[in-house]
């Protein structure tokens, strides 16, 4: 009888999943500069990232059981306790997967090795709690938009290559975001923040 009761309890547990990612927020003054850059890309059929959603993604977690949130927080804490605040310069525009087949337009970061090392440590910490390590090569970046179609590719490349970016971001905090998908686009909410040393 006890065995049947345990099975009943198991199948009646309510699991709540949240779409999560870990990242670095972009300061408001830099978002305004990025918005000016986005305005120059409107000749292409491109879905631009809303200014409030601009960020540097460290780790996309996907749909996660909310019971894992405390473990994610511990992982973020361990990373933040190993790094002091630092500055990073925005470099130039680039494309995923490449210039010949443009699907994503993004801003490169100059000398991104610190952010790469943060991501690798974060990957290691999260793996302790069952999260799969990243298999793809991690390229720190800020996504500007996702391209649907480019009418005049030659002109588009000329415009993007002439865009100069000379902005510096102070990296002093890592955040855990939830992402709610809607018809108008994703809505991000901050679940947890942790300052670097």
Catalytic positions are: 55, 141
CB 44 within 8 A of CB 93: no
- What are the φ/ψ torsions at residue 113 (nearest 5 degrees)? -65, -30
CB 120 within 8 A of CB 134: no
User: Of 136, 89, 95, nearest to 109 (Cα)?
Assistant: 89
| Positive or negative: CA dihedral 179, 180, 182, 188 | negative
Element (DSSP H or E) covering residue 28 = helix 28-39
- What are the structure tokens assigned to 26, written together? 């972009």
The neighbouring-strand residues paired with 174 are 194
Distance CA 17, CA 67 (A): 9
Distance CA 171, CA 81 (A): 14
| Pairing state between β 17-25 and 173-180 | antiparallel
């Amino acid at each position: 009888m006890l065995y049947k009761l345990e099975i009943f309890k198991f199948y009646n547990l309510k699991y709540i999943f949240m779409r999560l990612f870990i990242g670095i927020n972009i300061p408001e003054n830099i978002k305004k500069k990025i918005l000016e850059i986005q305005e120059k890309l409107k000749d292409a059929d491109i879905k631009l990232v809303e200014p409030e959603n601009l960020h540097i993604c460290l780790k996309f977690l996907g749909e996660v059981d909310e019971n894992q949130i405390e473990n994610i927080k511990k992982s973020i804490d361990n990373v933040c306790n190993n790094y002091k605040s630092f500055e990073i310069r925005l470099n130039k525009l680039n494309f995923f997967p490449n210039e010949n087949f443009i699907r994503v337009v993004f801003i490169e970061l100059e000398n991104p090795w610190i952010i790469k090392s943060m991501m690798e440590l974060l990957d290691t910490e999260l793996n302790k709690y069952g999260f799969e390590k990243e298999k793809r090569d991690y390229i720190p970046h800020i996504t500007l938009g996702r391209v649907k179609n480019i009418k005049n590719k030659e002109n588009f490349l000329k415009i993007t290559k002439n865009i100069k970016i000379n902005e510096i971001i102070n990296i002093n905090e890592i955040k855990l975001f939830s992402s709610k998908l809607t018809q108008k686009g994703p809505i991000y909410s901050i679940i947890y923040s942790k300052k670097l040393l």
